Homo-oligomer: A and B are copies of this chain.
Amino acid sequence: MIVKSLNDKGIQYDIINVAQEPLPFNRALDRYNVAIIRAISMYRSLYSAAVFESVGVHTINSSEVITVAGDKILTYSKLFKAGVPIPDSVIAMSPDATLKAYEQIGFPLIDKPPIGSWGRMVSLIRDIFEGKTIIEHREMLGNSALKVHIVQEYIKEKNRDIRCIVMGKELLGCYARNIPPNEWRANVALGGTPSPITIDEKLRETALKAASVVNGEFISIDILEHASKGYVINELNDTPEFKGFMLATGINVAEKLVDYIISNFS
């Protein structure tokens, strides 16, 4: 869809398949003005952005944004410091620390690793049995980051989450993702169904502030509704997916993105 919009507007572009092409640290890539980073893998996004930036190409998003948005602990750190509400969370970096964190938060709770997408390994832990099972499994994983536990309160009030997209300083829109049966997560890949919502002032403000805190230029924001704290940021995503959003809001994100680039970088 981005390609279609680029064609419609008569913008010159190349599509670089970073899985096939080596990216050199030299002047070969500095003929571009802007690079839209759309790799599925977090590392491919991050490293593509880093190489383009090294020769002065503007990247959407930048490697700094990808670093922070791609890691839930770095995200929470920035948001908490800026006073943007997040779920009550404790970081535990060993099995023993995780058991202590479970006690501090109390069951039921959520335990998730700092990296990963589509809700993968986001675990609902209802008692110590479930907790021990998850700790044992995480310890067997080959990636050290996945052995780190974000232990946090379980926020289930509305049985949905809200996803918003921010572009530049503008909130493009928001929609709800409803949690399907037999799930505790709303991610569309897990069967969550999108539906429209009304955006109130508080939601607008929270989404824009979250994007601004991490310098996100084109970013989607997962928001939960907390009984006492109101809107809290669950996570950010530096490679927004369009499908559910377009279905629920009717907004053509790709076209908006191309217009944004034309106004700002040409």
Q: Whose C-beta in chain B lies nearest to the C-beta of A142? A: B142
- Indicate whether A81 reaches chain B with its CB closer than 8 angstroms: yes
Q: Please, how many residues of chain A have a CB less than 8 angstroms from a CB on the other chain? A: 72
- Indicate whether A76 reaches chain B with its CB closer than 8 angstroms: yes
- Indicate whether A133 reaches chain B with its CB closer than 8 angstroms: yes
- Indicate whether A254 reaches chain B with its CB closer than 8 angstroms: no
For A67, list chain B residues within 8 Å (CB). Answer: 67, 74
Decide if A130 touches B130 in the complex (CB within 8 Å): yes
How far does the Cβ of A99 sit from chain B's closest Cβ, in whole Å?
Answer: 9
Partner-binding segment picked from A16-24, A159-167, A170-178, A194-202: A16-24
- Indicate whether A255 reaches chain B with its CB closer than 8 angstroms: no
For A81, list chain B residues within 8 Å (CB). Answer: 53-56
- Given A121-B136, A137-B137, A138-B137, answer yes or no on A77-B54 (Cβ-Cβ < 8 Å): yes
Decide if A93 touches B19 in the complex (CB within 8 Å): yes
For A151, list chain B residues within 8 Å (CB). Answer: 22
* Residues in A lying within 8 Å of B, measured CB to CB: 18-26, 41-44, 46-47, 50-51, 53-56, 63-64, 67, 73-74, 76-78, 80-81, 86, 88-94, 96-98, 100-101, 104, 114, 120-121, 123-124, 126, 128-130, 132-134, 136-138, 140-146, 148, 151, 182-184
